[in-house]
């Protein structure tokens, strides 16, 4: 009986981990681009969350990777100043262009599974560059 229990726990943990990162309400295989001014940014875990206001005043909620992951990843993700993404990388008032997966319902103004974040004012860019991962970094 003891041998079955660890296997059952492993299956339960695996299912929970996959469910956390599942986005069935989003078109993960599609890209959408949103441009706007950062109204808020919460550099926290489990995900960094931003709100952007577009020029036509629509507010989007943007779900990025976790703060720990962004701060610990290698410098290859950020240009021109190589380094991790930290709470000091982006600020309220920055104008950014974000590419991510759109919701299935177009009335929801959200993006998840970000592929890039670009600040045109100085060229700062974070790009997901992990071809071995199917959908996210």
Taking the C-alpha atoms of residue 20 and residue 54, their distance in angstroms, rounded to an integer, is 29
Residue 115 domain boundaries:
25-127
| DSSP H or E run through 62 | strand 59-63
Could you tell me if residue 2 is inside a domain? no
**Does any domain span residue 46?**
yes
Does residue 110 lie within any of the structural domains? Answer: yes
Average pLDDT over residues 49-77: 87
From residue 19, give the alpha-carbon distance in Å to each of 43, 75, 112: 22, 29, 15
**CA 73 distance to own-chain centroid:** 14
Q: pLDDT tens-digit profile of 7-29?
A: 433 333 333 333 445 567 899 88
Number of domains in the chain: 1
8 Å CB contact between 48 and 126: no
At 69 the three-state DSSP class reads helix
For all residues of the chain together, what is the average pLDDT? 80
The domain spanning residue 31 has which CATH number?
2.40.50.140
Distance CA(108)–CA(93), nearest Å, equals 23
The Cα-based distances of 57 to 9, 32, 39, 134 in angstroms read: 47, 17, 11, 33
d(CA 25, CA 111): 11
Q: Is the pTM of this model over 0.85?
A: no
**Is 10 within a domain?**
no
Residue 84 within any structural domain of the chain: yes
Separation CA 107–CA 37 (nearest Å): 20
Q: What is the pLDDT of residue 74?
A: 56
Any domain includes 49:
yes
Q: Give a yes or no: residue 134 inside a domain.
A: no
Classify residue 104: in a domain, yes or no: yes
């Amino acid at each position: 009986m003891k041998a079955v229990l660890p296997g059952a726990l492993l299956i339960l943990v695996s299912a929970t981990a996959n469910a956390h990162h599942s986005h069935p309400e989003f078109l993960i295989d599609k890209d959408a681009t949103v441009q706007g001014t950062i109204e808020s940014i919460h550099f926290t875990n489990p995900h960094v969350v931003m709100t952007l206001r577009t020029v036509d005043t629509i507010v989007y909620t943007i779900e990025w990777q976790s703060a720990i992951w962004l701060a610990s990843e290698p410098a290859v993700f950020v240009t021109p100043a190589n380094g991790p993404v930290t709470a000091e990388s982006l600020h309220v008032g920055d104008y950014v262009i974000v590419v991510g997966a759109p919701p299935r319902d177009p009335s929801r103004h959200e993006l998840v599974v970000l592929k890039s974040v670009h600040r045109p004012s100085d060229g700062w860019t974070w790009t997901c560059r992990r071809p071995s991962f199917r959908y996210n970094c």
